[in-house]
Structure 1
Amino acid sequence: MEKREMLITPPKGLLELNIRSDMRSKKERRELEWKERKKFQRRLIAAKKKLCEVEQQHVFHGFRYGEKDQRSSLANEIVTVNSKLLRQALENIGIPSTRLDLHQILATVPRSNRLKIEDRSAVPLLLVGSTGSISYCQEFFSDHDYFAFDPQKVWFLEEEKLPLVSSSVAEDGKHKILMKSPWEFLQRPIGSAGVISLLSSQDSLLDELGELGVEYVQVRKINQEHKSDHALAGLVDSCKANVGLQVFKDMASEENLDVMLSMSFLRKLVKQVNKLQFEGVEGCNSYVEKVEKDWVDVAPTAPNSYEFRSSIFWCLDAATKNKICVLYPSDY
């Protein structure tokens, strides 16, 4: 106080904030950025070609309108759309599904594969959700020490989506992708079978699971009514099954979905993604379309579009019945 001086001890790292973390020269950074842009352009050209093959050139109109960031958004939409699944889904429109009803399948499963056992130790967890929910879920798990799960055995993946298409055909006889805006597709998740498609493009994840000794992967809908337990994992392991199903009283929707797949069977499924079956669910959805030189908002009053859905129960078609086990509730 007598010297009229103030001594400050700054937090560690405060004085290093202005130090550039990337120590490469400006020239090197520009060269890397140029290479990344060229790589993206090649991906964009390939993706546009695939969309042209299924007569969806109208989605390119947005490149002639809007700001640079909006045109970049459209380019990202085009690059990230799964054109292979889109082609399959378009081919499935109007084709009746050949998959048996779930209750018909359960009737063929041997009674010996329906025992109920005690819970086993926790199994690795693979969580799939929308972009926003996944980031929230990662933070939520981190804040709660992963709820006793091993963080090295928990994975977060963004759900597989496909664009909605018109239910009526255009002049060229094709169902057209609907646009949410000139630079954004109108998209919806494809359903529980999307996890198979996701894993088919991530061989390294399956290899990592194998290296960790993972033998089974659980696919379930997380909700408030049915708390997670490990009885199904124990049942599948004791029966040496490829597929395990937990049955709930309400099986009309996938809200109560709980399926366990063996790793060996899962590896087989990811090689058969081209056999996924899609159902075109008709609905009423607003969209925009280009009419001459203007973009027009369309607000239909009747069903006008197809949303593509595919169920994880598709995997039952690829499994032999004596390799399927079912866990029933005690009051079923």
Structure 2
Amino acid sequence: MAIAADRGHVHSPERSGAMERLQGLLPKIVLAPSFAAIVVFVYGFILFTGYLSFTNSRILPNFDLVGLANYTRLFGQPNWWLALKNLAIFGSLYIVICSVIGLGLAILLDQKIRGEGLLRPIYLYPMALSFIVTGTAWKWFLDPGIGVETIVRSWGFTTFTFNWIKDSQMAIYTVVIAAVWQSSGFVMAMFLAGLRGIDNEMIKAAQIDGASNFNLYRRIIIPQLRPAFLSAFVVLAHLAIKSYDLVIALTNGGPGRATELPATFMYSYTFTRNQMGVGAASAVIMLIMIASVIIPYIYAEVRGGQSNGR
């Protein structure tokens, strides 16, 4: 019995080492299927789309390489330039207005006003909706036949007109309105988190020195919200570039092609016009635009983390 006990005692470190190795491998084993799925269905299909953009693909993938012909055809399409113009209008207004409204709401809630616990989820609620739901609701609201124009005229203002959704010159701004309504609460949450993270001692010191509220926000508080501004810009720019479902539900790209965006262009050329090569080329251009926004942000975050570690 003593010998058996000694043998068990001798082998116990080996068993504990094996258990430690198994515990170290267990998270990798659990995450391996998800990681493999991401590699195949995300990055694998991104590479496949990039390859298709250099092929003569039409209704089905075709592996005959044609070089940059699809990109030449893409940038020769007037509809593509219209989509880029609309993206510039939509993206710039979307980012600026969401940032201004989000910052204003965050400053309002940061005053410890009564009912903050009720107002915060109300402002955040639109972000919980899908863009399809938002687009459909705003389509009804902005329709001259059943929406705000009809309601205001029923109040006696018979000359009131609000038909932007039917006007090719103004329709893109209805997309801005719907997108801003949905995303401003999310931006508010980002700014509010930034405001709550500012050192109160610094603010109190400025107040003791006689700084007005305007100068307090302009010189101390808002400059310290730079990370929140940067994060909001990255998120909103990403959403603007890939906007598809909101446009489809709200205007379906119309009237005509007045609200065409790169995402709707890509879908129509790939699945409606059976120009898969051109559609893949437009998807690659969209990927480059998103990467041009996200990669500098990631680089700045990594570099900032390294400098803080030093």
TM-score (norm 1): 0.19
- Greater RCO, CA 8 A, separation 6+: 2
Structure with a larger share of its residues in strand: 1
Structure with max Cα Rg: 2
Structure with a larger share of its residues in helix: 2
TM-score (norm 2): 0.20
